[in-house]
């Protein structure tokens, strides 16, 4: 590759860490990667200092070295739903409450009762639960009114980093659709919902919503010095992590993705909006002008990591242990609501291990943990289909948990369908890089779209995992266990 090849950077700012990828603008080839950790959180109270995200981004960018000289554009994809409040001077009012902070569950219930589940679903495509930003605002109004009154702006995590880079408070319709105050069908803020949350003074303080190919601004001198980049490069609108993952996969209508990270998600691209009054399916927008109906569970890789620690195994050893029980899974069923649960909406729930007998083995418990996490997400996929979302395309398994041999095989077994594991598990950073490239090129070549970049970069390639057995009956057993 010629040393003069322009690069774009995709940023994945997650709950646990920040990852940055420098990719060649023309081919999408990865040139350099950087990482830095975020402060740990301890749900149900889950908070982080947004300044720590910026410091981690600076540290991760430093690992790209001299490649930074060739960067022409950057975009940030971030953990959804988090609440960042800043005052008139731009100072952070309090630590950001994250998506997996469930302490606003009472306020979520009160908001649904006050506005009505049907109206929430009609106005925003979703019925808010404790993870949504608007419930955190309501909690502030009830418990920290003075701090809320000092806030001049409310941002989502990716918005905060974009603001630090280009000094504009903006977002995109994908991440905005998880706030609880945005209508993705009308592409408009809904003031009555902010008033219902006791945050009416922030109606003019929410981020401006940009289109998929819009440039948020250019990198300021101050940000350029901190990140080691050239001032004036393009900063794209950015988006939420799930929306970026869809971009990074080249997801098409009919395809679905199961993501195994700190949380678990299952989502699909749709050309039409969904409005689920039950609240199980969040009717999000995607980052390309369409929609991304999604089901989220709070409990994914942390559950399997915890059970692995109980059994004294590392990740690879735990996967081998679970797979050794496939032919004799026994009756053990694990309902993995270790940190409460978002779907179903049970914020105070705990995990349950049922069906134990004197013959239950450690491999069977390991398999129960893997299957429990996946079965909850597959129930979510069924919920997407029940709303008319097309699911006749490819099934992708992504996220850090997709590295597990057990998760890969059991996803195929439990669906009795081939599953594709992408060649890169950094689909969020990849998607952010796609957005950065498309926004940059669109300015001088208006015919450039997100799809133009996805096709040129040949996204969506991966390893196909075929089912080794038909484990669909295992899903029925999981449902029985979850209902006990």
CA–CA dist 213, 55 (Å, integer): 27
Question: What length is written for the chain?
Answer: 484
pLDDT of 3 reads 63
CA–CA dist 347, 206 (Å, integer): 27
pLDDT of 342 reads 82
Q: Which element (helix H / strand E) includes 427?
A: helix 427-442
CA–CA dist 63, 360 (Å, integer): 47
Q: Which element (helix H / strand E) includes 145?
A: helix 145-150
Strands (E), 38-140: 47-48, 71-78, 84-86, 96-97
Contact 356, 308 (CB under 8 A): no
What is the distance, to the nearest Å, from the Cα of residue 153 to the centroid of all Cα atoms in its chain? 23
CA–CA dist 242, 223 (Å, integer): 26
pLDDT of 1 reads 46
Tens-binned pLDDT, residue by residue, of the chain (484 aa): 456 899 999 999 999 999 999 999 999 999 999 999 999 998 889 999 999 999 999 999 999 999 999 999 999 999 999 999 999 999 999 999 999 898 999 999 999 999 999 999 999 999 999 999 999 999 999 999 999 999 999 999 999 999 999 999 999 999 999 999 999 999 999 999 999 999 999 999 999 999 999 999 999 999 999 999 999 999 999 999 999 999 999 999 999 999 998 889 999 999 999 999 999 999 999 999 999 999 999 899 999 999 999 999 999 999 999 999 999 999 999 999 998 888 888 888 999 999 999 999 999 999 999 999 999 999 999 999 999 999 999 999 998 899 999 999 999 999 999 999 998 878 999 999 999 999 999 999 999 999 999 999 999 889 999 999 999 999 999 988 777 6
Contact 263, 300 (CB under 8 A): yes
- What is the value of pTM for the model shown? 0.90
Helix axes 301-310, 315-323, angle to 10 degrees: 90
Residue closest to 171 by CA, chosen among 235, 99, 246: 235
Exposed / middle / buried, residue 211 (Cβ in 10 Å: 0-12, 13-18, 19+)? middle
Bond prior to 344 in cis (omega within 30° of 0): yes
Exposed / middle / buried, residue 264 (Cβ in 10 Å: 0-12, 13-18, 19+)? buried
Q: Which element (helix H / strand E) includes 225?
A: helix 221-227
Exposed / middle / buried, residue 203 (Cβ in 10 Å: 0-12, 13-18, 19+)? middle
CA–CA dist 427, 242 (Å, integer): 9
Sort strands 153-155 and 84-86 into parallel, antiparallel or unpaired.
antiparallel
Sort strands 47-48 and 30-37 into parallel, antiparallel or unpaired.
unpaired
Task: Spot the catalytic one: 172, 241, 276, 371.
Answer: 241
User: Is 241 marked active-site?
Assistant: yes
A 10 A CB-CB count for 146 gives 8
Ordered structural domains, the chain, with CATH: 7-243 (3.30.420.40)
């Amino acid at each position: 590759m010629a040393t003069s090849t322009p690069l774009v950077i995709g940023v994945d700012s997650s709950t646990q860490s920040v990852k940055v990828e420098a990719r060649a603008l023309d081919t999408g080839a990865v040139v350099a990667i950087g990482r830095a950790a975020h402060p740990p959180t301890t749900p149900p109270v889950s908070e982080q200092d947004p300044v720590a995200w910026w410091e981690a981004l600076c540290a991760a960018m430093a690992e790209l070295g001299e490649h930074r000289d060739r960067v022409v554009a950057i975009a940030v994809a971030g953990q959804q739903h988090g609440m960042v409040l800043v005052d008139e001077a731009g100072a952070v009012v309090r630590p950001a409450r994250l998506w997996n902070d469930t302490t606003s569950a009472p306020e979520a219930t009160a908001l649904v009762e006050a506005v009505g589940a049907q109206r929430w679903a009609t106005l925003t495509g979703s019925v808010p639960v404790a993870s949504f930003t608007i419930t955190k605002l309501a909690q502030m109004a009830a418990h920290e009114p003075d701090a809320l009154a000092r806030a001049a702006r409310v941002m989502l995590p990716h918005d905060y980093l974009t603001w630090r880079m280009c000094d504009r408070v903006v977002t995109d319709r994908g991440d905005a659709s998880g706030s609880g105050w945005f209508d993705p069908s009308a592409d408009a803020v809904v003031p009555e919902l902010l008033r219902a949350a006791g945050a009416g003074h922030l109606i003019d303080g929410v981020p401006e919503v940009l289109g998929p190919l819009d440039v948020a601004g250019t990198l300021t001198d101050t940000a350029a010095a901190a990140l080691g980049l050239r001032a004036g490069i393009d900063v794209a609108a950015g988006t939420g992590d799930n929306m970026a993952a869809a971009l990074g996969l080249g997801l098409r209508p009919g395809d679905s993705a199961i993501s195994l990270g700190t949380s678990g998600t299952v989502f699909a691209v749709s050309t039409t909006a969904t409005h689920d009054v039950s609240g199980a399916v969040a009717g999000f927008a995607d980052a390309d002008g369409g929609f991304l109906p999604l089901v989220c569970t709070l409990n994914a890789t942390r559950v399997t990591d915890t059970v692995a620690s109980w059994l004294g195994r590392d990740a690879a050893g735990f996967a081998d242990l679970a797979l050794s029980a496939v032919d004799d899974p026994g009756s053990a069923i694990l309902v993995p609501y270790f940190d409460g649960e978002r779907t179903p909406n049970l914020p105070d729930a705990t995990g349950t291990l049922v069906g134990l007998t004197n013959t239950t083995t450690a491999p069977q418990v390991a398999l129960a943990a893997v299957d429990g996490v996946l079965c909850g997400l597959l129930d979510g996929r069924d919920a997407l289909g029940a709303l008319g979302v097309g699911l006749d395309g490819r099934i992708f398994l992504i996220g850090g948990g997709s590295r597990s041999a057990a998760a890969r095989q059991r996803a195929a077994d439990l669906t009795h369908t081939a599953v594709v594991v992408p060649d890169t598990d950094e689909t969020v950073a990849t998607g952010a890089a796609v957005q950065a490239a498309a926004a940059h090129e669109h300015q001088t070549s208006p015919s450039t779209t997100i799809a133009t970049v996805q096709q040129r970069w040949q996204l969506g390639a991966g390893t196909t995992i075929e089912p080794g057995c038909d484990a669909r009956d295992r899903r029925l057993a999981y449902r029985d266990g979850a209902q006990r």
